[in-house]
Structure 1
């Protein structure tokens, strides 16, 4: 059932995407942007098959992503990359390359450069698509893209094939290898659903509810918390369209969440949220060197606090060059076998204070600019999406995997689009056959 279901979903999602892109079919560059995202989602949906199939020493997923990003980057006209908007992206990437050379970790550069090339080319192509075809058309195409992972999640539920965690918890994530990866994609789908100008409120709330349900069944606590700013922004503007009754609607949403979520969430997820209360209540218990943590201390938040403390200590012990430029992509703190599950710590450790300041400064500037955009609804929802990414960064990694960079590119392109009215007009590359 699983192989046949996966094949049917891949074929159906491709057909759905092509239907939505039909008005843009003569625009080669826009078609390439959507094809790039679809291919990555499709490879991830193949699960172990894409990870275990080796070609030239690389998995099918890694090689397919590398070739697709390389092809789109090379086929895009050089003028696309001259946009002044992309200057901060290039600066952040160059800081990471400098840190890699300094630390002698050049072996990690191909995957690092691929990620940032994916981010840059996709953000620029989507911004161009917004300018040429308008937000509704682009957002319809993005909704079609996110239908693929959601359909794969539904398949895992129908087939009774959850991923079972070490604590016995169930996560329905389709063929996606880890619940965090699927949850990042579902968060991106939530942002797109909240941005789209639905014909009725019923349609809008149904789409947002579907994305929230996907996050719930993915059973990933961090992304549920990260979704709150987006749901809040969507609720406010839905209510504003209803003659100022947004506060009443928002209170109803909050009340229903308090009453219903504990009933529908898996018990293990409820227990995980209680650990946050333990951390807040006994914060002083964890403010100590990592080597003094007891077994009980390490168990809190799935050992995240212990991991965070270990990386914070390693950052504090770094010499000045590595403190500024980091230890290089994919570097792990001494004694650690896993990444820090926190982007603020990971980026600071791997890319230094300069890299962290550049990346998170770019995100904060993006959120502020979007919030001040003339198009209030799109701007505020986009700003809330960036806020969601910043919240998610406290408990997982986003910027070291293609799915996270895809979501970030969508947010970046949307922010650039909604703030375009504040800037002087600039030449737009015309579609090519």
Structure 2
């Protein structure tokens, strides 16, 4: 029944996608709009698109490869050589070195395909921003999100609910496969609405808070925590634009107090879902140990994440100097551990070693500093705190492992690299 609903919604949204593409004014926006819609559409039918089809690649993966190929064809080659991309290429070089050292060629192909997709989305979004500015680019990029948002609303109305893998609590994710990837779609939606200047789209504030409510309904803890900085900076920006300077501080204090009360109420009512976080924070010194020292009770903390991190870190620590320097290779955890690391930083340390880990951390320090220094200060704050939220999310799951997470990362980095001033922008 709900499969038919997904198909109907997908076809309806495709009509709006085509309409947006035809009126977009430049091919890069058209490419972004179609790419996002195709990803959301294929992922909705996971029972068909996720299983391997050709040479170990699923329909979903083949769709990503196809999008990457189109991106490479339409993006001028010179833009793949932007100096701002150098930190990304340095990190990818460490991935290749790790793969060659460990002969992990299959894992290397999978990782490079994902990052090639990321690069085409990031560069295309960068070019769209430079040609058409933040408002037009972001408004059109929102069009594909009609599908996942509409499907989640319908899943609530029709009772299409998924039991969370962690504790069997209810998750409304519109018939998609997993809360993590679906939550990243909603985070991107909320982020795009938030970065738009006020009153650039109808019902902007309502759409923003609808997206927040939907993230809570998706019931993925790390997404809820990651979106908090975005909520705070959205509210602060709204108050700064509406109030005189002398009223801003008292209203910020008042608004902050209300937000704390609301969040306290939520976390209290959802105590069973979030109490593991406080247990982990308050006992972190006792939990830093080898996995075989964990009791059965400790293994369950934070949905077993802490125990999983311990397994990865212990395995990494047993390697020799060169193994620790270069890591065990991309996707080398497969066949060794029953589950992925649920922490991007732990996973990258295990897979790419100290070399890859340091390069990845350096990349994010560079983009965070660049986000803080953006010329449009309102946009700077929104992008900076959105990136902070995204990086926090990587502490307890692996959004960068999924295409949906790489889309968020690509949009944020393209906004930082474009560094738009107020007003219309042109390629320099």
Q: Same fold (TM over 0.5)?
A: yes
**How has the CA–CA distance of structure 1 residues 18 and 247 changed in structure 2, closer, same or farther, with 3 Å as cutoff?**
farther
Residue in 2 aligned with 1:338?
A: 339
Superposition RMSD in Å: 2.5
Higher alpha-carbon deviation: 401-410 or 63-72: 63-72
Q: Deviations over 1:7-60 (max 9, x none)?
A: 2221222223334444424x2233223222221111112222222473454321
- Aligned-partner Cα distance in 2 for 1:262–1:201: 31
- Aligned-partner Cα distance in 2 for 1:84–1:72: 19
Residue in 1 aligned with 2:14?
A: 14
**How has the CA–CA distance of structure 1 residues 272 and 254 changed in structure 2, closer, same or farther, with 3 Å as cutoff?**
farther
**How has the CA–CA distance of structure 1 residues 75 and 110 changed in structure 2, closer, same or farther, with 3 Å as cutoff?**
farther
- Aligned-partner Cα distance in 1 for 2:141–2:329: 33
Q: CA deviation at 1:254?
A: 4.2
The answer on 1:33 being equivalent to 2:46 is no
Aligned residues: 423
Q: Deviations over 1:150-183 (max 9, x none)?
A: 1121222222121113522111112321111111
Q: Deviations over 1:166-225 (max 9, x none)?
A: 522111112321111111221111211110123189933212211211210111111111
**How has the CA–CA distance of structure 1 residues 321 and 77 changed in structure 2, closer, same or farther, with 3 Å as cutoff?**
same
Residue in 2 aligned with 1:219?
A: 219
Residue in 1 aligned with 2:71?
A: 72
- Aligned-partner Cα distance in 1 for 2:256–2:427: 45
Residue in 1 aligned with 2:312?
A: 311
**Which segments of 5 or more consecutive residues in structure 2 lack a partner in the other structure?**
none
**How has the CA–CA distance of structure 1 residues 320 and 74 changed in structure 2, closer, same or farther, with 3 Å as cutoff?**
farther
- Aligned-partner Cα distance in 1 for 2:154–2:334: 38
Higher alpha-carbon deviation: 315-324 or 383-392: 315-324
**How has the CA–CA distance of structure 1 residues 211 and 266 changed in structure 2, closer, same or farther, with 3 Å as cutoff?**
farther
Match runs of 1:28-427 below 5 Å: 28-52=27-51, 54-55=53-54, 57-166=56-165, 167-199=167-199, 203-241=203-241, 242-244=243-245, 245-261=247-263, 269-332=270-333, 336-418=337-419
- Aligned-partner Cα distance in 1 for 2:148–2:79: 30
- Aligned-partner Cα distance in 2 for 1:208–1:104: 46
Q: Is the 8 A contact 2:29 2:137 kept in 1?
A: no
- Aligned-partner Cα distance in 1 for 2:200–2:132: 22
**How has the CA–CA distance of structure 1 residues 378 and 426 changed in structure 2, closer, same or farther, with 3 Å as cutoff?**
closer
Partner SS state of residue 308, structure 1: helix
- Aligned-partner Cα distance in 2 for 1:102–1:89: 20
Q: Is the 8 A contact 1:216 1:224 kept in 2?
A: yes
Q: Is the 8 A contact 2:237 2:378 kept in 1?
A: yes
Q: Is the 8 A contact 2:45 2:176 kept in 1?
A: yes
Partner SS state of residue 54, structure 1: strand
Q: Is the 8 A contact 1:236 1:247 kept in 2?
A: no
Q: Deviations over 1:327-381 (max 9, x none)?
A: 1111228962111111110111111222122222212211221212221110110
- Aligned-partner Cα distance in 1 for 2:263–2:151: 23
**How has the CA–CA distance of structure 1 residues 11 and 334 changed in structure 2, closer, same or farther, with 3 Å as cutoff?**
closer
Q: Is the 8 A contact 1:262 1:270 kept in 2?
A: no
Partner SS state of residue 153, structure 1: helix
- Aligned-partner Cα distance in 2 for 1:266–1:216: 14
Partner SS state of residue 302, structure 1: coil
Q: Is the 8 A contact 2:64 2:117 kept in 1?
A: no
**How has the CA–CA distance of structure 1 residues 374 and 81 changed in structure 2, closer, same or farther, with 3 Å as cutoff?**
same
Q: CA deviation at 1:145?
A: 2.3
Higher alpha-carbon deviation: 257-266 or 151-160: 257-266
- Aligned-partner Cα distance in 2 for 1:43–1:412: 25
Q: TM-score, normalised by structure 1?
A: 0.90
Q: Is the 8 A contact 2:189 2:211 kept in 1?
A: yes
Residue in 2 aligned with 1:431?
A: none
Q: TM-score, normalised by structure 2?
A: 0.91
Q: CA deviation at 1:288?
A: 2.1
- Aligned-partner Cα distance in 2 for 1:28–1:426: 15
**Which segments of 5 or more consecutive residues in structure 1 lack a partner in the other structure?**
429-433
